[in-house]
Structure 1
């Protein structure tokens, strides 16, 4: 059986790993965009992290793997199942792994949003819905490689679903609305084209990855990958303890997250930074606030500090800046410069 490469065995790419960890800890952050060279472990990191997450508690007979504690009205199947329960009865549940669903560039609209179940229609004459990729990704990860090459009509679909958290299908006499909340992870090479601004804005965090240039790092990457391919069981055992540490860190972070506090002074710093950089709207502030809170929880802290803010500011804001014709610096550099100007290090 094929296994996922251990998350802890990934060499370097710390910004990418941290962004994915934060998005997994709090899905409200809004997903992760990873742009850079091919073969830098983008898809490997997503699948490796998903394998570390605890199995989900789901409604047994629900095609969307809904949370049994989800409110009524969020899923038509769960609502129907609840209507059949006796007074005081509970839905049957089952544990399932967190899904990681690939959305290929050539996917049809029917494949993505779902369509009429032709087989059932022909065999029994019954109109039934066959769930698509968005339904399968519910409560998990939807991964799109080369997201900047995705066709416009699919981009429009993703924008709508990402905003509402639900997928609406109206076709062939079907009228279906089902939950579709997932962590959207996109990757691509910026040399092959830019991402549409509307979709770019929907990603909570954005990081850049590059092929390591240091010979030692490159040798270590090749060495570990070769060991993994030659003897997966032994390699997994070698990194089992390191992965377990990360697994406990995620679980502890999820428990702590609701209790992490952000005082008014820190909120003022968030708005001050975004205003200084000229980010459009308030999505930048909200994302930065959520990401800083998730990072604090991941670190085991009870309150967000300026250090948490500084650590997560670049991935939360660099893709939201307008181009400045008078400044050819990268957006990441501009965010770092703003941090230094607004919140300088105190001299010891």
Structure 2
């Protein structure tokens, strides 16, 4: 008999989502290569941002983790392994593993720093000499996806912590001279509505990609989206079954892209062109160059190709650069269009 714990809430199939190609591509590429640095999704209310993000997590193949480990530790990769598991591996101890769904962690808007980073029980440490760590959301999100809705309303200090952990892959908690460090490698996905305020430029720049989504204007497409949603709401399991084959195809495509990624090559001439575009757009720092290179390689792997071409770069470069341009209040042209113009000149 199924207990309440076993009954999972049905998730809208990723392949059933109509339109919003930019957001879907950005999420897929970050899943193929988490080092791209996450996605910031800005767009109107009610455009399916949350639905799409939950759907991508549901689509991913299960991961193997060390059993009863608080940090979803990997069994052989030191980068995503807690110190306790590392010690067991080095001592040659037997490690039992289990397969779990890719963690999808929602960060609530009112979350405190302790809730995000975790806490150290000082009393226990001082009285009993035991270092007791109560893991936070960053620990739970290791090797998964951390989703922050309305990221532009989140306290800047917390956004800083999230971005630091996402970039370094580690979270360190220090209290009264006691320090605990654990792996926290996750895909950071933030979403927001531009009407509710922008993110500070230096925080925006830390997101690998920036997808913009607009409400669909075409009546026939709108009808299709509404029908799809109604169909799912009235009978979710039938809808999931209908898209099962497409889901499996996409799942295996992502898996083979993850495996192929290491051997994808990007020519020196193309790397120079990418940097030329960044220079012409006056992009501060080198993050834009690095992310565009990574995203182009991930896209080539997704297309099952071993060499990056101009086509791959053109598909991803706007997503990687549009949020890194300096804001000019008198500028009337959209930043995406500006990137497109420079790309056209450089890649003639």
TM-score of Structure 1 vs Structure 2, range by shorter chain: over 0.9
Match of 2:26 in 1: 19
Greater shift, 109-118 or 43-52, is seen at: 109-118
Of 215, 219, 222, the residue aligned with 1:218 is 222
Equivalenced residues, count: 341
- Structure 1 position 288 matched with structure 2 position 292: yes
- Structure 1 position 63 matched with structure 2 position 67: no
Counterpart Cα distance in 2 of 1:76 and 1:118: 20
The answer on whether the counterparts of 1:54 and 1:98 sit within 8 Å (CA) in structure 2 is yes
- Structure 1 position 5 matched with structure 2 position 9: no
Trace 1:68-217 onto structure 2 (pairs within 5 A).
68-71=75-78, 75-85=82-92, 89-116=93-120, 126-171=130-175, 174-217=178-221
- Structure 1 position 304 matched with structure 2 position 304: no
Question: With structure 2 as the length reference, what TM-score do the two structures score?
Answer: 0.92
Match of 1:48 in 2: 55
Of 261, 267, 278, the residue aligned with 1:263 is 267
Cα deviation code 1:104-142 (max 9, x no counterpart): 110011100001359988xx8955111000000011101
The answer on whether the counterparts of 2:37 and 2:167 sit within 8 Å (CA) in structure 1 is no
Counterpart Cα distance in 2 of 1:297 and 1:73: 23
Counterpart Cα distance in 2 of 1:304 and 1:290: 10
Question: With structure 1 as the length reference, what TM-score do the two structures score?
Answer: 0.92
Match of 1:335 in 2: 339
Q: Structure 1 residue 62: deviation in Å?
A: 2.0
SS of the counterpart of 2:78? coil
The answer on whether the counterparts of 1:129 and 1:174 sit within 8 Å (CA) in structure 2 is no
The answer on whether the counterparts of 2:43 and 2:192 sit within 8 Å (CA) in structure 1 is yes
The answer on whether the counterparts of 1:162 and 1:202 sit within 8 Å (CA) in structure 2 is no
Q: Structure 1 residue 186: deviation in Å?
A: 0.2
SS of the counterpart of 1:167? strand
Residue 120 and residue 11 in structure 1: after superposition, are their counterparts in 2 closer, same or farther (change >3 A)? farther
CA RMSD of aligned residues (A): 2.2
The answer on whether the counterparts of 1:53 and 1:247 sit within 8 Å (CA) in structure 2 is yes
Match of 1:250 in 2: 254
Counterpart Cα distance in 1 of 2:329 and 2:196: 22
Displaced runs of 4 or more, over 4 A: 117-121, 124-127
Counterpart Cα distance in 1 of 2:90 and 2:26: 41
Q: Structure 1 residue 198: deviation in Å?
A: 2.5
Residue 211 and residue 72 in structure 1: after superposition, are their counterparts in 2 closer, same or farther (change >3 A)? closer
Counterpart Cα distance in 1 of 2:228 and 2:329: 44
SS of the counterpart of 2:15? helix
Q: Structure 1 residue 326: deviation in Å?
A: 5.8
Counterpart Cα distance in 2 of 1:278 and 1:269: 14
Greater shift, 246-255 or 163-172, is seen at: 163-172
Counterpart Cα distance in 2 of 1:20 and 1:170: 33
Q: Structure 1 residue 82: deviation in Å?
A: 2.7
- Structure 1 position 34 matched with structure 2 position 28: no
The answer on whether the counterparts of 1:58 and 1:66 sit within 8 Å (CA) in structure 2 is yes
Cα deviation code 1:193-242 (max 9, x no counterpart): 11022221111110111111111111111111111111111111111111
